[in-house]
Amino acid sequence: MAVDLSRFQESFFAESAEHVETIESGLLKLEQRPKDLELLNRIFRAGHSIKGNAGMFNFTAIGGLTHKMENVLDLLRNEKMPVTPHVIDVLLRALDGLKSLLEAVQGGSEADESMIRGLEQELLTCQEGDNGNGVSTTESKPPATSATSEKIWRLVKIDWVPLSELFQRGLDPVQIFKELHELGMVKVLQVRADQIPQLEGMDPERCYLSWAIEFETDVPISTVEAVFDFVRDGSELVITDCAPKRAKPYKRVGDILVEEGVVTPEQISDGLAKQKPLGEILVEDKKVTTQQVDKALQKPKQLKKWETASIRVDTENSSI
């Protein structure tokens, strides 16, 4: 039996109207608060939601225009482009174009394609740094240093058990994965099929699958969460921002002895120049005692033993 998507499309248009209102009011406020990062993120999330939801219904023109608006907004919120009256004007006119696309699709009519193409080109020009006077806004800025231009990547883990009526609502989980792929690099996409019933008890219109996902991204977690806005109701969804693990460096014996004030850095350098085990050299030179060297040698072993025990405990806990 074919699934009637019309009632779900009505929800799409209703939600899109709310997102459009958020974008419009946000852009008007942005003229007075160009440094308001929270406001920029709110505008970006609204646009991102429209783009993602449009993809669910294969509304390519809506998704295409919104994607180009999203690119400009992403530059603004990451402070890679200044918020200027010209940029806000272009975004507002693009929003008017988006409204006309939504109205056309909802009413079964055709939008002005040449107008949409012109708006998309203006957005692209903004993205490339033109401030509206034919001058690139990037020309007056000093080149970014590696410290400021380097992206900060994070590992995000997602556990998603969707509503069983997912397909009946006309929603496609593949679109979710495509959206995530646009935001970063999917490293793990594990399908859990343990809830699939026997063939005689299976309903082809119900979703029995769930997913565990790991991917790397440089966007805020709020942007990741926005991908799931349209499928969140009734789902079990956990999104975890995983902090990178840092390896703890081991200290050399010489460093430990210097820290404890037993020897000086110069004495360490002289000892290393003799090409013997450092502890043996320092004992021969009567700089330290054998007991002091043995004590220093035990510290890395004790640290390693403790960390190995910690790793074993963590591994055992993870299998519970």
The answer on 312 and 226 residing in a single domain is no
Q: What is the CATH number of the domain that holds 105?
A: 1.20.120.160
281 within a domain of the structure (yes/no) = yes
Q: What is the CATH number of the domain that holds 231?
A: 3.30.70.240
User: Which of 210, 242, 274 is the last residue in one of the domains?
Assistant: 242
248 within a domain of the structure (yes/no) = no
257 within a domain of the structure (yes/no) = yes
Q: Quick one: pLDDT at residue 316? A: 45
Three-state DSSP state, 22: helix
Which residues make Cβ contacts (< 8 Å) with residue 315, sequence separation at least 6? none
Answer for the pair 168, 207: CB distance below 8 angstroms, yes or no.
no
89 within a domain of the structure (yes/no) = yes
User: Which of 194, 216, 242 is the last residue in one of the domains?
Assistant: 242
| Domain region containing 163 | 151-242
Single out the residue of 197, 203, 209 nearest to residue 173, CA to CA.
209
- pTM comes to 0.52
Amino acid, single-letter form, for residue 29? K
pLDDT digits (tens, 9 = 90+) for 33-52: 998 988 998 999 899 888 88
Three-state DSSP state, 183: helix
Q: Quick one: pLDDT at residue 310? A: 43
Q: Quick one: pLDDT at residue 304? A: 47
Flag residues of the chain having pLDDT under 70.
1-7, 130-151, 243-253, 269, 271-281, 297-320
Q: What angle (nearest 5°) sits at the alpha carbon of residue 45, between those of residues 41 and 48?
A: 135
309 within a domain of the structure (yes/no) = yes
The answer on 169 and 49 residing in a single domain is no
194 within a domain of the structure (yes/no) = yes
The answer on 193 and 106 residing in a single domain is no
Count structural domains, the chain: 3
Three-state DSSP state, 239: strand
Q: Quick one: pLDDT at residue 131? A: 56
143 within a domain of the structure (yes/no) = no
The answer on 183 and 91 residing in a single domain is no
Q: Which stretches of 71-209 are assigned E, i.e. beta strand?
A: 154-161, 184-192
